[in-house]
Amino acid sequence: MRTSRPSLRVRLTAVLAGAAAVGALLTAGATTARAADVPLRDLADAKSKVMGTAVTGSKLTGTYGDIAGAQFNWLTPGNAMKWGSVEPTRGTYNWAEADQIVAFAEAHGQQVRGHTLAWHSQNPSWLTNGTWTSAELSQLLNDHIALEVGRYKGRLAAWDVVNEPFNEDGTYRQTLWYNGLGTGYIAQALTAARAADPDAELYINDYNVEGVNAKCTALYNLVKSLKEQGVPIDGVGLQAHLILGQVPSTLQQNIQRFADLGVDVAITELDIRMTLPSDSTKLAQQAADYKAVMNACVAVTRCTGVTVWGFTDSDSWIPDTFPGQGAATPYDENYAPKPAYYAIAEALGGSGPSTDGCTATYSVSSQWNTGFTGQVTIACAGGSLSSWKVGWEFGAGQQITQAWNATCTQSGTAVQCVNASYNGTVADGGSVTFGFNGSWSGSNPVPTVALG
Ligand code: 9MR
Express each pLDDT in 136-158 by its tens digit: 999 999 999 999 999 999 999 99
- According to DSSP, the residues that pair with 362 across neighbouring strands are 376
CA of 269 to the centre of ligand 1 (A): 9
Handedness of CA 127, 129, 135, 138 (dihedral sign): positive
CATH label of the domain that carries residue 175: 3.20.20.80
Amino acid 383: pLDDT = 84
Q: Are 303 and 255 in contact (CB under 8 A)?
A: yes
Helix, strand, or coil (residue 249):
coil
Asked if residue 352 belongs to a domain, the reply is no
Is the pTM higher than 0.85? The answer reads no
All residues at 6 or more sequence positions from 236 whose CB lies less than 8 Å from its CB, including other chains: 203, 204, 205, 209, 219, 223, 258, 263, 264, 265, 266
Q: Residue 195 Cα, ligand 1 centroid: separation in angstroms?
A: 27
Out of 128, 203, 317, 322, mutate this one to test ligand 1's pocket (max ligand atoms within 8 Å of CB): namely: 317
Separation of CA 405 and ligand 1 centre (Å):
37
The answer as to whether 224 is a domain residue is yes
pLDDT tens across 229-250, in order?
Answer: 999 999 999 999 999 999 999 9
pLDDT confidence band for 382 (50 / 70 / 90): confident
- Please indicate, yes or no, if residue 3 is contained in any of the structural domains: no
Asked if residue 315 and residue 266 are part of one domain, the reply reads yes
**Distance from the first to the final alpha carbon of the chain:** 39
Measured between alpha carbons, how far is 166 from 403 in angstroms, rounded to an integer? Answer: 49
Residues with a catalytic annotation lie at 164, 269
Residues 327 and 362 in one domain: no
Return the pLDDT at 4.
Answer: 43
Q: Whose CA is nearest to atom 4 of ligand 1?
A: 317
What is the C-alpha separation between 229 and 125, in angstroms, rounded?
34
Please tell me whether residues 74 and 194 are part of one structural domain. Answer: yes
Closest Cα to atom 20 of ligand 1: 317
Let me know if residue 61 belongs to a domain.
yes
406 contacts 379 by C-beta, under 8 angstroms = no
Residues in the chain: 452
Same domain, 30 and 44: no
Confidence category of residue 354, pLDDT binned at 50, 70, 90: confident
- Other Cβ atoms closer than 10 A to 56: 16
> What integer pLDDT is reported at residue 79 of this predicted model?
98
Nearest protein CA to atom 8 of ligand 1, as residue: 122
Quote the CA–CA distance of 345 and 129 in Å, as a whole number. 46
Q: Which residues pair with 74 in a beta bridge?
A: 52, 111
Instruction: Tell me the sheet residues that pair with 392.
Output: 415
pLDDT band at 9 (very low <50, low <70, confident <90, very high): very low
Predicted local confidence at residue 25, as pLDDT: 35
Ligand 1 atom with least separation from CA of 116 = 15
Give the number of the atom of ligand 1 that is nearest the alpha carbon of residue 207.
17
Distance 273 CA to ligand 1 centre (A): 15
Average pLDDT of every residue of the chain: 92
**pLDDT value at 224 more than 60:** yes
- Give the domain range for residue 303: 38-347
**Cα 51 from Cα 268, distance rounded (Å):** 10
**Residue 1 falls inside a structural domain:** no
Nearest protein CA to atom 10 of ligand 1, as residue? 79
With a Cβ cut-off of 6 Å, ligand 1 is lined by 78-79, 121-122, 163, 207, 239, 269, 317
Return the ligand 1 atom nearest residue 320 CA. 6
* 82 CA → ligand 1 middle, Å: 10
Mean pLDDT check: name the lowest of 24-38, 71-85, 98-112, 193-207: 24-38
Q: Residue 48: name the closest of 267, 234, 344, 299 by CA.
A: 299
- Identify whether residues 242 and 378 lie together within a single domain: no
Probe residue for ligand 1, chosen from 116, 119, 269, 308 as the CB with the greatest number of ligand atoms within 8 Å: 269
Count CA atoms within 13 Å of residue 276 on its CB side.
12
Same domain, 337 and 376: no
Pair 236, 274: CB distance under 8 Å:
no
From the CA of 316, give the closest atom in ligand 1. 1
- Is the pLDDT assigned to residue 294 strictly greater than 50? yes
In a domain, 119, yes or no: yes
Categorize the per-residue pLDDT at 191 as very low, low, confident or very high, splitting at 50, 70 and 90. very high
In Å, how far are 98, 102, 144 from 94, measured between CA atoms?
Answer: 8, 14, 13
Whole-angstrom distance, CA of residue 119 vs CA of residue 237: 14
CA pair distance 294, 391, nearest whole angstrom? 26
DSSP state of 59: G
| Residues 21 and 93 placed together within one structural domain of the fold | no
Q: For residues 386 and 52, which has the higher predicted lDDT (pLDDT)?
A: 52
17 and 57 share one domain = no
Checking if the pLDDT of 11 tops 70, the result is no
The answer to whether residues 109 and 19 touch, using CB atoms and an 8 Å cutoff, is yes
In angstroms, the CA 305 to CA 52 distance is: 8
Same structural domain for residues 323 and 371? no
Q: Look at residues 347, 375, 405 and tell me which one is the last residue of a structural domain.
A: 347
Cβ(35)–Cβ(353) below 8 Å: yes
The mean pLDDT value for 193-220 works out to: 98
- Ligand 1 center to residue 309 CA distance, Å? 9
Residue 4 lies in a domain: no
CATH number at residue 395: 2.60.40.290
Same-domain status, 19 and 44? no
pLDDT in tens, 163-179: 999 999 999 999 999 99
Looking at the 3D structure of the chain, how many domains does it have? 2
Work out the pLDDT band at 160, boundaries 50, 70, 90: very high
Minimum-distance ligand 1 atom for the alpha carbon of 309 = 1
E strands in 244-329:
264-275, 303-308, 325-326
The answer for residues whose C-beta is within 8 angstroms of residue 321's C-beta and 6 or more apart is: none
Distance CA 223, CA 228 (A): 9
Q: Which atom of ligand 1 is nearest to the CA of 54?
A: 1
Backbone angles phi, psi at 54, to 5 degrees: -75, 145
* 120 and 87, same domain (yes or no): yes
Q: What is the pLDDT of residue 377?
A: 97
pLDDT at residue 387, as a whole number:
80
280: confidence class by pLDDT, cuts 50, 70, 90:
confident
| Among 300, 325, 347, residue at a domain's last position | 347
As a whole number of angstroms, the distance between CA 272 and CA 122 comes to: 23
| Whole-angstrom distance, CA of residue 421 vs CA of residue 206 | 33
**Cα–ligand 1 centroid distance for 134 (angstroms):** 27
For the cut 90, the answer to whether the pLDDT of residue 384 exceeds it is no
CB neighbour list of residue 60: distance below 8 Å, 6 or more residues apart: 68, 100, 101, 104
* Statement: residue 18 has pLDDT above 60: no
43 within domain boundaries: yes
What are the start-end ranges of the E strands in 164-302?
201-206, 235-238, 241-243, 264-275
Among 309, 312, 316, 322, the mutation site with the greatest number of ligand 1 atoms within 8 A of its Cβ is 309
* Among 85, 122, 164, residue to substitute to test ligand 1 (most atoms within 8 Å of Cβ): 122
Residue 317 Cα, ligand 1 centroid: separation in angstroms?
A: 7
* Smallest CA separation from ligand 1 atom 6, residue: 317
CB-count burial class (<10 Å; 0-12, 13-18, 19+) for 89: exposed
Which residue, of 295, 318, 347, is where some domain finishes? Answer: 347
- Same domain (yes/no): 315, 210: yes
Counting residues of the chain whose pLDDT is more than 70, the rounded percentage is 92
User: Which 8-state DSSP code applies to residue 391?
Assistant: E
